[in-house]
């Protein structure tokens, strides 16, 4: 798994286009929306939870098709499916590589981006906690949806239609964690639900994704 993870990270950093595109898209969303609204700190803080999560979600969506697409085009995925490493391990490694190269860089930008919205250090910390707790689910759910569209023409459009409804629970609880933290309300309930979604996604979806990949490779 470590070898596969290292390989995917190396390929991601060598190409670099998806990584840069995701970061640029995230920053554009965070910058343009405050400019289009009344320059009121109260308004910006109110919409900040949703904006940060929607920005990460859409940036993540841009790169979902590359999780498996290159490997199925050159036959690597077929070789990996019959290797000694279980297909679930392959999926976890590739999904973790996607999270490291797509979601983690955006999370690292939160302290800087939060300045645009007048968010305090404590608020920025809770945004980071919320994203760290929920974004692994985005990558895992995205990998499952990507496995369903392998080999399809214009699969990226179908992938978007499949994955967006599945992202809604994560989006709701992720934004709720940030909103309640900014209102000095208990965040335990939404945070527990958010972590539960991530944990269940990591536990269940690799199995379903592996089944989908095997079916598509037949």
For the segment 34-70, what is each residue's pLDDT rounded down to a tens digit?
A: 777 776 777 788 888 889 999 999 988 888 877 887 7
Q: Measured between alpha carbons, how far is 97 from 7 in angstroms, rounded to an integer?
A: 9
Expressed in percent and rounded to 5, the helix, strand and coil fractions of the chain are 85, 0, 15
Q: Quote the pTM value.
A: 0.89
Question: How would DSSP label each residue in 59-104?
Answer: HHHHTGGGTTHHHHHTTHHHHHHTSSS-HHHHHHHHHHHHIIIIIH
pLDDT reading at 17 higher than 70: no
What's the pLDDT tens digit per position in 75-91? 777 777 777 778 888 89
pLDDT value at residue 155:
60
Do residues 100 and 13 touch, judged by C-beta distance below 8 A? no
Residue predicted with more confidence, 31 or 11: 31
For the cut 90, the answer to whether the pLDDT of residue 132 exceeds it is yes
The pLDDT of residue 199: 96
- Indicate whether 4 pLDDT > 80: no
């Amino acid at each position: 798994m470590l070898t596969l993870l290292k390989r995917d990270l190396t390929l991601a950093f060598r190409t670099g286009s998806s990584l840069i595109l995701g970061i640029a898209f995230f920053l554009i969303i965070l910058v343009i929306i405050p400019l289009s609204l009344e320059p009121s700190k109260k308004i910006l803080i109110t919409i900040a939870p949703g904006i940060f999560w929607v920005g990460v979600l859409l940036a993540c969506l841009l790169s979902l098709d590359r999780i498996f697409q290159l490997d199925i085009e050159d036959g690597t995925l077929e070789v990996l499916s019959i290797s000694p490493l279980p297909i679930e391990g392959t999926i976890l490694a590739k999904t973790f590589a996607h999270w490291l190269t797509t979601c983690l860089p955006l999370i690292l930008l939160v302290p800087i981006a939060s300045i645009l919205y007048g968010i305090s250090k404590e608020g920025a910390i809770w945004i980071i906690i919320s994203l760290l707790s929920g974004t692994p689910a985005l990558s895992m759910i995205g990998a499952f949806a990507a496995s369903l569209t392998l080999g399809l023409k214009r699969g990226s459009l179908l992938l978007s239609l499949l994955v967006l409804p599945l992202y809604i629970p994560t989006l709701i609880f992720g934004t709720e964690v940030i909103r309640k933290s900014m209102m000095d309300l208990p965040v335990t309930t939404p945070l527990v639900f958010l972590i539960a979604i991530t944990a269940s996604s990591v536990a269940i979806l690799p199995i379903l994704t592996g089944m989908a990949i095997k079916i598509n490779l037949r």
